[in-house]
Amino acid sequence: MSTKMLGLILAGGKGTRLGKLTQNQAKPAVPFGGRYRIIDFTLSNCANSGIKQIGIITQYQPLLLNKHIGNGASWGLDGLDESATILQPYTDNAGSKWFKGTAHAIYQNLDYIDSQNPEYILVLSGDHIYKMDYEAMLNEHIKNSASLTVAVIDVDKKEASRFGIMSTDVSGRIIEFEEKPEHPKSTHASMGIYIFTWKRLRAVLTTAFSTTDDMLDFGKNVIPYYLKSDERVFSYKFSGYWKDVGTIGSLWAANMEFLNRKNGLNLDDRSWRIYSKNPIAPLQYITENATIRNSMIVDGCYVDGEIDNSILSTNVSVQSGSKILKSVVMPGVKIGKNVLIKYAIIGENAQIGDGAVIEGNKDDIKVVGNAEKIGVLPDEN
């Protein structure tokens, strides 16, 4: 069997900047937008781009993520010659296979990649919110006879020092790369999306790891090596919405942009759907006392309070007298009576007792962790 392009999703990150939300699950498994998890966007992009062989590389707290992905059926990846394969660290006679970096994670899965016999590999992050046609990027890679193509997006000059920055010539060929430069020379930021011609990358990685460990990371090691070796490295410009939701502030902001349709992510577009594995939930119930303004209330919710500019995910309950403003409430949360939640993210299955106050502001979003209990709960009275 030969695969033209194999998708490899790096989904093993701990996501330390998300704090309480990733203490017991990997960052790509964090809920988003009421009905989704972050990794759904990358998986759906693959499915919509015609990439049907996908390896998902996991490491940190993978249980919930593995359960969510399952056999890939929710993304149409369970048919003949279609698969979503979970790739976790393992031990063999040579020792443990823990992943030390992005490129090292690819190297540790050589056996899997070779079994698919791809001509190209598409390396993706599992923690970004966006829609993108990877086939169009592949076509550019082939047209340029490239060894590596890096997807880039223009960012504000004052934000550029947070990213890997690419300088290109008039043809789009990358001539210089700087990882998080203090004084960026360009605004072309790497999106962490790469297409490699596999034969060349395989040779680079196997040679490097047979002698040294200096090829652990794509941004720090592989891209500079390719440029130094005069490989044909090109940029692929992306102009749509793309958000790295690696911080509490960016996760909250992306949810608010999604709620207010300010991010260009039209999830009603049936030609490019975002798929997810959603649990079966009962119908929502909104009481006659409830007040809802510019909010998303999804399946299984019970609402007897006031919801304003907020997202309530699956199976959330809000009792009478409670007010939720400018907040994201993740699945399974139980909120008691006379609670105030403002500028906050409430983690999965948290329980908020009667009269609790959780109040932040747009520059300081408050977080309640997954399964955390706040205040006096009804069964404790």
Tens of pLDDT, residues 327-366: 999 999 999 999 999 999 999 999 999 999 999 999 999 9
Q: What is the mean pLDDT of residues 256-266?
A: 81
Q: pLDDT tens digit string along 238-259?
A: 988 998 888 899 999 999 999 9
Please list the alpha-helical segments (H only) found in 131-197: 134-143
> Measured on CA atoms in the order 334, 337, 340, 342, is the torsion positive or negative?
positive
d(CA 171, CA 271): 31
Mean pLDDT of the chain: 90
Residue 97, pLDDT above cutoff 70: no
* CATH classification number, 3-259, choose in 3.40.50.450, 1.10.8.10, 3.90.550.10, 3.90.600.10: 3.90.550.10
H or E element that contains 190: strand 188-197
H or E element that contains 367: strand 366-368
Distance from the Cα of residue 326 to its chain's centroid: 22
Q: Which of 72-76, 210-214, 237-241 has the lowest mean pLDDT?
A: 210-214
d(CA 232, CA 157): 26
Coil/strand/helix, residue 379: helix
**pLDDT at position 23, please?**
84
Structure tokens at 143: 């047209």
d(CA 206, CA 89): 18
User: Taking a C-beta distance cutoff of 8 angstroms, is the pair 77, 86 a contact?
Assistant: no
Distance from the Cα of residue 230 to its chain's centroid: 32
Q: What is the residue type of 84?
A: A
**Fold classification of 285-380 (topology level):** UDP N-Acetylglucosamine Acyltransferase; domain 1 (2.160.10)
Structure tokens at 105: 């994670």
Q: Which of 59-68, 115-124, 160-169, 291-300 has the lowest mean pLDDT?
A: 59-68
pTM for this one?
Answer: 0.92
**pLDDT at position 90, please?**
64
**pLDDT at position 1, please?**
40
Choose the most confident range, by mean pLDDT, from 127-131, 211-215, 261-265, 267-271: 127-131
Residue 178, pLDDT above cutoff 50: yes
Residue 302, pLDDT above cutoff 60: yes
Coil/strand/helix, residue 358: strand
Buried b (16+ CB within 10 A) or exposed e, 199-237: eebbebbeebbeeeeebbbbbbbbbebbbeeebbbbbbe
Structure tokens at 142: 């082939």
User: How many CA atoms within 13 Å lie on the side-chain side of 89?
Assistant: 17
Domain boundaries, the chain: 3-259, 285-380
Burial class (CB in 10 A: 0-12, 13-18, 19+), 92: exposed
